[in-house]
Amino acid sequence: MDATPAIDETPRTQRRRAVVASVVGTTIEWYDFFLYSTTAALIFPSVFFPHSDESTAILESFATLFVGFAARPVGAAVFGHFGDRIGRKATLISTLLLMGVATVLMGLVPSHATIGLAAPVLLVVLRVLQGIGVGGEWGGSVLLSMEWGARNRRGLMASWPQMGVPIGLLLSTGTVAAVSAVTGDAFEVWGWRIPFLASVVLIAVGLYIRLRVLESPDFREVKQQRAVVKMPVWRALRDHPLEVLTAAFVRLSEQAPFYLFITFVLTYGTTELDMPRSQILNYTLIAAAIGLITIPLFGHLSDRFGRRRIYALGIVLTAAYAFPYFGLLNTGSGGLVLIGIVVSLIVHDIQYGPQAALIAESFGTNVRYSGAGLGYQLSSVIAGGPAPLIAAALLTSTGGSTSISWYIVGCCVLSLGALALMPAAGRSGTGRADG
């Protein structure tokens, strides 16, 4: 899938293409993933679990959300193997297709009222495929962008693919809000399917862009030196177990709160605060838009002041904000709720901006896709996946948000420990080469 660059193509041109391909690809991937998260909070309890009471149906819906997170390390291992064996570009095209097709098919799954238990079963199968696609996507997108950049700007370069999160969140939330406004009461019957089916357009755009980018220079160098590893996943686990584990746990303070801030808040706002669905969605849109600035900003600051220093600041601020966050939400005042949601994603971005480079630089080029992807996606099992489920269970059992705030603080404490134990390669900004 590689081609020889045209004569007039400079490294700068290819660098821009790599960044655009990474951002557009991850935007599509996260559009699909966040779309599921949003509908899991608002629609799926009644469509696929109609015979349960409201609290149980929400828990069952969030359980299907968790299944996708559990599948992400599988995707990281499978696509990490091929990403380190055959290259970043070809692997990323495969992840895009897998994710996109699974999402389109979700829009065609009949409801529980139509086919009974088979409906949630089909949903779970497609959710697993979706999770595998996302699991393989992150590592390749980050590396394609980061490995085209100068070593002293890798924090910024690796932060660009992270922009797929706020852009994907904007697109998915905006699409749901628009379709909900147009279809009205029919949104819960058939309108929710439209955003899933619309993903087919995004797939075509993503494929066009990714087919035009060249393989990263770092991976081409590995191939020229005949340093490609036969079993990169095994080598990453054997030679870098501490790097993989600390990468997973350092994300606890970022990923667990994030899915409370963008998924659980939809359920909390509509059921506990009796706020309109459209209002919560609009507030989330505003907060996501600010991420277009804050994510690359903190990626750049990590190049200036160090990954660990910026990341540690984000962890501390997230812990400090755990109680004020719910305090602002519980006022039920529109302006204060908006402030609460916006600030929550800003403190998240302080970690998310430098995170990609922090993790990826811990591994040599020939096992980087596998090692960084595994570490990053393992946190989905312990952080992002169970977070909405844990929050819903805590809310049901205690009747208040205090226990959820303590849960956020606990995640931050564990992340600080992981950051302290993380090997020093992430601090240097140069990474390592594995023999």
Instruction: Decide if 298 contacts 159 (C-beta within 8 A).
Output: yes
- What is the chain's mean pLDDT, rounded? 85
Give tens-digit pLDDT for 389-409: 898 889 888 888 899 999 999
Question: Which token pair is 80?
Answer: 């990490």
Can you say how many angstroms the Cα of residue 29 is from the centroid of all Cα atoms in its chain?
Answer: 9
Residues 6+ apart with CB under 8 A from 157: 19, 145, 146, 148, 149, 150, 299, 357
For 250-278, the DSSP string reads HTHHHHHHHHIIIIIHHHIIIIIS---HH
**pLDDT value at position 242?**
94
What mean pLDDT do residues 47-74 have? 80
**pLDDT value at position 10?**
58
Angle 220-354-78 (CA atoms, 0-180°, nearest 5)?
Answer: 50
Instruction: Decide if 17 contacts 152 (C-beta within 8 A).
Output: no
Domain positions in the chain: 11-216+233-428
pTM of this structure: 0.80
Residue type, 411: C
Query: Which range scores top for mean pLDDT: 2-11, 39-48, 422-431?
Result: 39-48
Tell me how far apart the alpha carbons of residues 66 and 336 are, in angstroms, rounded to a whole number: 30
What CATH number does the domain located at 11-216+233-428 have?
1.20.1250.20
Can you say how many angstroms the Cα of residue 99 is from the centroid of all Cα atoms in its chain?
Answer: 13
* More confident call, 266 vs 313: 313
Give tens-digit pLDDT for 216-262: 777 788 878 877 888 888 998 998 999 999 999 999 999 999 988 88
